[in-house]
Structure 1
Amino acid sequence: MHVGIIGVGLMGHGIARNVLSRGGFALSFLDHPGNQPVDEITGMGATACATPAEIAAVSDVVILCVTGSPQVEAIVAGDQGLAAALRPGTVIVDCSTALPESTLRMGEVVRAAGGDYIDAPMTRTAKHAHEGKLNLLVGGTVETLERVRPVLASFTEEVAHVGPLSHGHRLKLLHNYVSVGFMTLLAEAAAQSADAGVDPAVFVDVLASGGGASVALDRLAPFITDGNREGLPFFVSNAQKDIDYYRAMSEQAGAQQTVADGVSAALADAVADGHGQAYVPELVRLFGRAKT
């Protein structure tokens, strides 16, 4: 199979290198200023394309790894989009974090163009993408998943089929709400602890030995104790986007979102202050009295 990828960012670059090195597939990618440096993957044989339609014209599988629903919709259904040149039977694998209702619409567009669509958002981090150990939450038919499983196997550790199309994105938003919500709450507590002069190592140890033990603590602890933000290279602006997608999904479902509103407000303040490109662990500093 010939694989296309759109979105060679922090996560997509790791996917691309593993599709090439571990999977041994031919790869085309969209040339875009938001890409990470592509010297490594071009050196391994990847080919740059100018438009999504060019990628569709040569690919059996196209992986999307972009910011959110507006970008996915433009790539799939826009001018020179994938649907304009899709080969019969091509499968679109949407690894982005997107709104479920948008995913259902894009699935209809792709099926009308003769292809298939699955949503396969990722959990884990850019480090896991580089190592080929991502986990995917896949929505769509089992038959479509099985057709692309060899490609997915090249960059994943676990691929879970979670239901029909859009359920992958629905569960990713639920996952990210819990994950980002935990980390936002923890950052606020860590900021108060630091403002009060508590030894940061003691703060982390107390939480780790009690009810505060969590993946959120594991990822923020290096920043709390040593100022190392690399435990989670995830932009605050993207965290806010994911929480607001969760709020939109909740509103449509008529579900309670009181806590989500508070998390969104905290993140929105950081973005409004010019810190959208800070990593999430840096919220510990941004929430403090001496924020910079």
Structure 2
Amino acid sequence: MQTQGISMSETRVGFVGLGLMGQGMAANIVGKGYPLSVYAHRNRAPIEDLISRSAVEAADLADLGRNSEVIFLCLSGSPQVEEVVAALKPGLARGTVLVDCSTSDPVVTERLARELAAQGVDFADAPLSRTPKEAWAGTLDCMVGATPEVFARIQPIIATWAGKIVHIGGVGDGHRMKLLNNFISLGYAAIYAEAIALSEKVGIPIASFDSVIRGGRMDCGFYQTFMASALEGNREAHRFTISNAYKDLRYLESMANDAKVVTNMASAAKNAFAYAMANGGDGAEDYVPHLTDFTAKLNGKS
């Protein structure tokens, strides 16, 4: 594909946030031929891996900004995005595009877009769905909020790590859709955890419970990765942290408050994760399927 006479693979890309999702995404970007600059905040291992794939390590965030035309952010939430954007700003030239792949607060997203527009910099939100496995495979789902012109610029790069890309609407709409998406998935998680606790309390073993649900109308991909932990003991099957889940549901609740929408179900799901957070589920390796442990504890099972 050509844009103003320049091959899209010559677009200089930056990537900040090489965590569970970001490392696989960045590996696909550089693997598909895009010049890639990366920056490490704490963990050196992803940086060394990406350098081995021909990525270049930036000296600091301003340096990454100066040497990138499109910059992807894959961070834990809006406070981290704001911090990184502030550090990038001194190096950003007019025409640069920042793409926030984090699950962020849409209000903050729109404010950052306005601030960057005054500098001649475009902003888009392109949050993700699925797991680190799909990040490495290049088959993530992505929902994008951007102008049509910006979407046309970033879509070929997103396509290096996403199998399904939906242009939802303008800036902020990607993050709004992501919060809705996560409400559904995390609502499932809260239901599954409570159903399993009740099943065991009334004497139905988890294997019997699963034998009815699996393969039926209530089965889905999320159920299967959730149950890989609850049933099979694979605690790495769905690596999305309880703390991130709790954060996303708080963002959803804030969005609903602004829209004056009653959220009986979303608040109940949030409270399930709030209980886990208040009882030790805030660690880096406390993942969403582990909610079953905390729900069991809430119901008197050690």
Q: TM tier, shorter chain?
A: over 0.9
How does the TM-score come out when normalised to structure 1? 0.93
Counterpart residue type for residue 167 of structure 1: D
Choose the corresponding residue for 1:87, options 93, 99, 113.
93
1:288 matched residue in structure 2: 296
Counterpart residue type for residue 58 of structure 1: N
Q: CA deviation at 1:266?
A: 1.4
Distance 2:216 2:12 in 1: 50
Secondary structure at the counterpart of residue 46 of structure 2:
coil
1:65 matched residue in structure 2: 74
For structure 1, which segment, 199-208 or 250-259, has the greater mean C-alpha deviation from structure 2 after superposition? 199-208
Per-residue deviation, residues 11-67 of structure 1 (Å, max 9, x unmatched): 00001111111x211111122115653221111122222432111110010000001
Counterpart residue type for residue 54 of structure 1: D
1:3 matched residue in structure 2: 13
Choose the corresponding residue for 2:38, options 29, 33, 47.
29
Choose the corresponding residue for 2:210, options 197, 200, 204.
204
Whether 1:100 aligns to 2:106 is yes
How does the TM-score come out when normalised to structure 2? 0.90
Q: Does structure 2 retain, via aligned residues, the 8 Å contact 1:53–1:82?
A: yes
Counterpart residue type for residue 67 of structure 2: V
Counterpart residue type for residue 277 of structure 2: V
Over the matched positions of the two proteins, sequence identity in percent amounts to: 37
Secondary structure at the counterpart of residue 21 of structure 2:
helix
Distance 2:159 2:232 in 1: 36
Distance 2:217 2:162 in 1: 31
Counterpart residue type for residue 68 of structure 2: S
Choose the corresponding residue for 2:48, options 39, 50, 54.
39
Distance 1:176 1:29 in 2: 28
Unaligned runs of 5+ in 2: 1-10
Q: CA deviation at 1:174?
A: 0.4
Q: 1:203 to 1:16 in 2, by over 3 A?
A: same
Q: CA deviation at 1:210?
A: 4.8
Unaligned runs of 5+ in 1: none
Q: Does structure 1 retain, via aligned residues, the 8 Å contact 2:38–2:47?
A: no
Taking only aligned residues, the RMSD between alpha carbons, in angstroms, comes to: 1.7
1:247 matched residue in structure 2: 253
> How many aligned positions are there?
288
Q: CA deviation at 1:83?
A: 2.0
Whether 1:124 aligns to 2:130 is yes
Q: Does structure 2 retain, via aligned residues, the 8 Å contact 1:31–1:50?
A: no
2:5 matched residue in structure 1: none
Distance 2:124 2:44 in 1: 23
Q: 1:291 to 1:29 in 2, by over 3 A?
A: farther
Per-residue deviation, residues 68-104 of structure 1 (Å, max 9, x unmatched): 111111111x2xx222221121111110101111111
Counting only pairs closer than 5 Å after superposition, residues 88-237 of structure 1 correspond to structure 2 as 88-208=94-214, 210=216, 212-237=218-243
Q: CA deviation at 1:137?
A: 0.3
Per-residue deviation, residues 170-218 of structure 1 (Å, max 9, x unmatched): 0000000011111111111112223444222210122235553233322
2:269 matched residue in structure 1: 263
Q: Does structure 2 retain, via aligned residues, the 8 Å contact 1:8–1:35?
A: no
